[in-house]
Amino acid sequence: MGFSKAKGKIKSQIAKHGSLFETGDDTFYGILLKANANADLPRSEYVVFTSYNATINDGKIIKNDDNNNRYLPLKIDKQDLVSQDIYKKAYLRQVNASGSIKHYLDPSNASKDAWDAPTGTSGTDYGWITKNTSVWVNFEKVSLREQVNDKVGDIETPEFFLYIPRFVNASHTPIAGDRFVTTGGDEWKLESVDSYSYIDQAYMTRVIKDDR
């Protein structure tokens, strides 16, 4: 079977048996599968197989039109043979929260005038400034932090990984020290931000409950 015929066959089968997904203004058919189904711990990892010409927008949330579930892409692979794209495979995490990203603006860092007052900042509200709203994210529990000298029963704050879709950097790039506030009002501190592991797709951040 030639490459063109193989691509057409795969595309027609995915359209026949798959679900309709949308990302941004684009739509595509895909077959969604659970990843690492035999893992010991429950995870929210999935893969979706699509045709070779499906449009998946880098860094944007993917929504399943059948059930309105949302997924955050971490990596998109093009499966090719002799430079011929046969199909695409995207590695996803299911969205399980939404909220806002806030950044702290400190007046002590502003330029000062002769009277030691901030200059060029008329109307600026210092404090926690909302930079992104309605951000869909994935929380993934890591573990409880362990310290060898802790007494039995003294449990540290649980740590989580927070995966943020990359498109949010259009207005603000998340950095360590930012705050993520869930729609329900829970506040989380971004302790560190990994912008390299899932470049073009997502930020992987380590977060703890924010008591600042």
Pull the structure tokens for residue 90.
Answer: 């995207």
Measured distance CA(59)–CA(152) in Å, rounded: 43
Higher pLDDT, 118 or 76: 76
- Tell me the CA distances in angstroms from 94 to 32, 48, 68, 73, 131, one per residue in order: 11, 12, 11, 9, 23
| Domain ranges across the chain | 3-94, 97-209
Q: How confident is the model at residue 135 (pLDDT cuts 50, 70, 90)?
A: very high
The model's pLDDT over 107-131, given as tens digits with 9 standing for 90+, comes to 777 777 777 777 766 666 778 989 9
Identify the residue with better confidence: 45 or 182: 182
- What pLDDT is stored for residue 15 in this prediction? 79
Q: Which has more pLDDT, 211 or 24? A: 211
134 CB burial (10 A radius; 0-12, 13-18, 19+): exposed
Q: What is the chain's mean pLDDT, rounded?
A: 82
Q: What is the pLDDT of residue 45?
A: 87
Q: What is the pLDDT of residue 142?
A: 74
Residue 197: what pLDDT?
93
Show Cβ contacts of residue 180 under 8 Å, excluding neighbours closer than 6 positions. 99, 100, 101, 102, 135, 137, 162, 164, 187, 188, 190, 207
- Stretch (H or E) spanning 5: helix 3-17
Instruction: State residue 72's pLDDT score.
Output: 94
Bridge-based pairing of strands 84-94 and 45-51 is: antiparallel
Say yes or no to pLDDT of 93 above 80. yes
DSSP letter (8 states) at residue 170? G
97-209 in CATH: which number? 2.40.10
pLDDT in tens, 14-60: 878 788 999 888 898 898 988 776 665 566 789 999 988 888 888 99
Predicted confidence (pLDDT) at residue 10 exceeds the cutoff of 70: yes
Q: How confident is the model at residue 188 (pLDDT cuts 50, 70, 90)?
A: very high
Q: What is the pLDDT of residue 162?
A: 95
Gyration radius (Cα) of the chain, Å? 22
CA distances from 66 to 20, 23, 29 (A): 7, 14, 11
Q: How far apart are CA 162 and CA 3, in angstroms?
A: 40
Split at pLDDT 50, 70, 90, the class of 203 is very high
Confidence at residue 115, expressed as pLDDT on a 0 to 100 scale:
76
What are 150-168's pLDDT values in tens digits? 554 454 555 789 999 999 8
